[in-house]
Each structure stands twice: as C-alpha cells, then as structure tokens.
Amino acid sequence: MTRDFTFSRRTFLDRVLTASAGVGMAAAAPWAGVAQAEPTGSDRVRLGVIGTGDRGRALIQNILKTRNCAVAAICDPYAPHLDKARALVPAGTATFTDHRAMLDARGIDAVVVATPLDLHARHSLDALDAGLHVWCEKAMARTIKDCGAMITGARSRSKVLQIGHQRLFNPTYLNALKRAKAGEIGEITQVRASWHRNRNWRRPVPPGSNLDRELNWRLYRARSAGLMTELATHQLQVANWFMDGLPTRVMGSGSIAFWKDGREVYDHVALIYDYFDGRKTIYSSLLNNARYGCEEQIQGSKGTIEPELGRIYMETPPGSVPALARMRKDVQAGRKGAIPIGGATWFPELPVTTPGDSLGWGEYDETMLQFEGFGEAVRSGKELPGLLRQAYHASVASLLGEQAMDTQQAIAWPSDLIPV
C-alpha cells in the first residue's frame, strides 16, 4: 500500500506530526510533539548568519521560506561570499565582516553558524556569551572536547543550542522510524550506509592568493575530518536513531586512494560500528565513484527500510509463492514449462527487486522545517527535547571513526561524555 503525504504551508507542528504521530515516536523523536504556537503579530525570530559560503547561502534561502524566522544580519570576512549573500536578503539587511561586530551591534535574537568546522565552537560560544541562542551546522565541532564545551556553554546560559541534522525533521524519515518502531521490519540488527561522490571536493582559489586553506578547509586536518564530519555525521545520526542506542566501539580503515593532490583528509573510508547485542552499522564513503550515491539500509528480520529512497521492502513480499507451490499451480492450470532435473546446485542470491512500499513524499523542505522548529525553541526559550543528544552523539561517533582509522585500532565509546 502506498502512503503519501501532502504538505502545504502549514505550521511546523502540522507538517512534522503528519508523519511522526504513532507507535514509539514520543521516545524516538520527542521534538516532533512539542506544541507550536502561531507567531504573535508579525514578530519573527531575528537571525544573524555567520558564514555565507555555499552552505550558508543555502541556509539563508531556507530561512527566508519560514513563517517564524527572518535574516536580520549576515557576516563573512570573504567579500565574494558576502556579496552573493547580500543579493539574497532584503535591502538594508545589516552586513558585517567580523562576527564580534555583529554580536556587539545587537538587533538579533539568535545566531546561525555556517563557518568551517574548526570555527564552530568559537563562534557558538561567542554568541552564547553575548546572550544569544545558537543554531550551528553539523558536525558540532572539530574535537569531542569542543562539542562538550558548546553544550555546557548553552546549558549554563539557559540558551538554545540546535545542530543542523535535517533528517530529524524529514517526514519521510519520521514515517520510516514510526514503522520501524511498530515492528514492521522486525528486529533491526544492521544498518548499512554510504555516501559516494565522484568529484575531488576542491574549490577554485583566486590566482595568486593564499586562500587555499580558507576555501578548501574540508581537505585539511586542522580544520575538518573530511568525509567523517562533512558527510558521515548525518548517517551516523540516522543509524543511532534507528538502532535506538549508541555504539560500543568503532573500527575502520581510511586512505587517500584517488585524489593525491596534497589533501590531508581521507578520500575513502570504511568503518564498522558495534552496538549492544552484536548489532552493527557498516559505513563507507568515497570521492571517486557515485554509482551508489547517498543511502541508508535499515535491515531487520522481516524487512528493510531505505529512508533516503523513501521505500520499505519486506523479506517475503505479499503474494509471493514458493517454487513447488507455484509449479503445482502451473500444472493445475495447464501451463507448461521446462522442469530442471539436473544442473547447477547453487544460484546467486541476488538482491530483492520488488518495488517495495512508499514511505511518502511531499512538498516540504526539511531544512526549512528545522529552522521553524528552532524559531519555536527560541520563542519559548526551551530547546526541542532530544535534538541536541542526537547531534552530540553523531558528532562523537564521526570523530571516533577518524581516531579508529588513524590509529588502526578499535576505539571504545567514551564513558565520560557530557550527559544530554
């Protein structure tokens, strides 16, 4: 049976709860059930965006779609990025080249941090010190220690800290989780996830400039963990979510296998995350083959969910008939066909090719939805429950994966993480 959703410009609550209401969702996605109020008058939460590169500009475009947030200021020290962002926002929007000047100028309620990973903690903590709420891109920070400092900083100041894991707001994923919690695919024992691309990830640098480490920060260890923090953190969050738990350890192998251009981060990673009772997440990411793209396979004893593709597949598709029973029906119906008497005793166990069942697609944008959720959190002064925990553990998992590959040893899940 196909289950589709139609989403219009309704409230954040309506759009998310359409998918998430049901068995087990209160525990798995508590933020989806937080009551939302319509904005009073024409007031919107005023956001100052720090970082207006490609990702920052994409966030600005999503913020402009929301019903409860507005871009009140933009900031970037790199003029070409700032000029492109200025073209997206209303005329007269305050513009800065230094984030501290933006914080000192006031006029905003919260900050959006879309800067290179190694700057996340500094920019977030500066904003919190200025009495502002913070929405920060994933991964949280370059080190586990800095991830914890961001949480401590927000909690000690009673401010909202939200991290950009948009799948937590995607109604297709929420419906997938609802059906998994209802037991439709049985006991989940493995998650397979991959994010494969075929491009070098290197951005052009103006001739004669020394901006390589500024514009290509993803390629250098001091600034990024590469594939682990820029891509894997999304899917590790999904794995933890569906596993309803945290890894016990991680092992892996990483290499610069293809793009030998002076980069310091791996262009090919393969990892195994162990969970309680022997369950596993198997993850791979590479930058020279895009055949399998971005996908997650949630594998249970009764079926498989592929939320990125919006499909659910059962191990025994409805209406399937065992071979002997099918042959008996053919004989009874007078249908003729060859019956093999001898030959191969083994046949390849090929992937299931049934079309599966739709998990629902609709007219929504999960990045916009997460900003509407953030707007409501800022308005109430209370973080959406459970979100920060998911983000923190996903960032920790990605950084532990980097450690496992670097040391070529299995790394245990830390016992001293900040409780969230």
Phi-psi region of 408 (alpha: psi -120 to 50; beta: other; left: phi over 0): left
What is the reported pLDDT for 19? 45
Specify the pTM: 0.88
Is the domain 12-167+365-383 a CATH 3.20.20.60 member? Answer: no
- 3-class SS of residue 388: helix
Question: Where along the chain do its domains lie?
Answer: 12-167+365-383, 169-319+354-364+395-412
For the chain, the distance separating the N- and C-terminal CA atoms, rounded to the nearest angstrom, is 39
Residue 271 token pair: 């990892």
Picking from 104, 148, 146, 153, the residue whose alpha carbon sits closest to that of residue 128 is 153
Close Cβ partners of 272 (under 8 Å, ≥ 6 residues apart): 250, 251, 252, 280, 281, 282, 283
Around Cβ 261, how many Cβ atoms within 10 Å?
12
Picking from 226, 171, 177, 162, the residue whose alpha carbon sits closest to that of residue 200 is 226
**Cis peptide bond prior to 139, omega within 30° of 0:** yes
Degrees (nearest 5) of the Cα angle 168, 169, 172? 95
Is the domain 169-319+354-364+395-412 a CATH 3.30.360.10 member? Answer: yes
How far are the Cα atoms of 24, 147, 180, 321 from residue 176, in angstroms, in the given order? Answer: 12, 29, 6, 27
Query: Phi first, then psi: what are they for 65, rounded to 5°?
Result: -85, -15
Could you please report the per-residue DSSP string of 187-248? SEEEEEEEEE-BS--PPP--TT---HHHHTGGGSTTT--THIIIIIHHHHHHHHHHHTS--S
46 forms beta bridges with 70
Residue 144 token pair: 């586990």
C-alpha torsion sign, points 275, 161, 165, 182 = positive
Could you please report the per-residue DSSP string of 110-161? EEEE-S-GGGHHHHHHHHHHTT-EEEEESS--SSHHHHHHHHHHHHHTT--E
Residue holding tokens 């990025």? 81
285 forms beta bridges with 195, 269
What is the reported pLDDT for 90? 95
122-126 own/partner pairs: CB under 8 Å, 24+ apart: 123/50, 123/51, 123/99, 124/150, 124/153, 124/154, 124/161, 125/149, 125/150, 125/153, 126/99, 126/100
Picking from 70, 86, 126, 119, the residue whose alpha carbon sits closest to that of residue 102 is 126
What is the reported pLDDT for 333? 77
What are the 10-residue block averages of pLDDT along the chain, 420 residues in total?
A: 35 50 61 52 87 97 95 98 98 97 97 98 98 98 98 98 94 92 97 98 94 97 98 98 97 98 98 97 98 97 95 78 64 70 66 84 78 94 94 98 98 95
What's the half-sphere exposure (Cβ side, CA atoms, 13 Å) at 95?
Answer: 17
What's the half-sphere exposure (Cβ side, CA atoms, 13 Å) at 97?
Answer: 5
What is the reported pLDDT for 25? 61
CA distance 319 to 153: 56
- Helix (H) and strand (E) counts for the chain? 14, 15
C-alpha torsion sign, points 379, 384, 385, 387 = negative
Please say whether the beta carbons of 297 and 309 come within 8 A. Answer: no
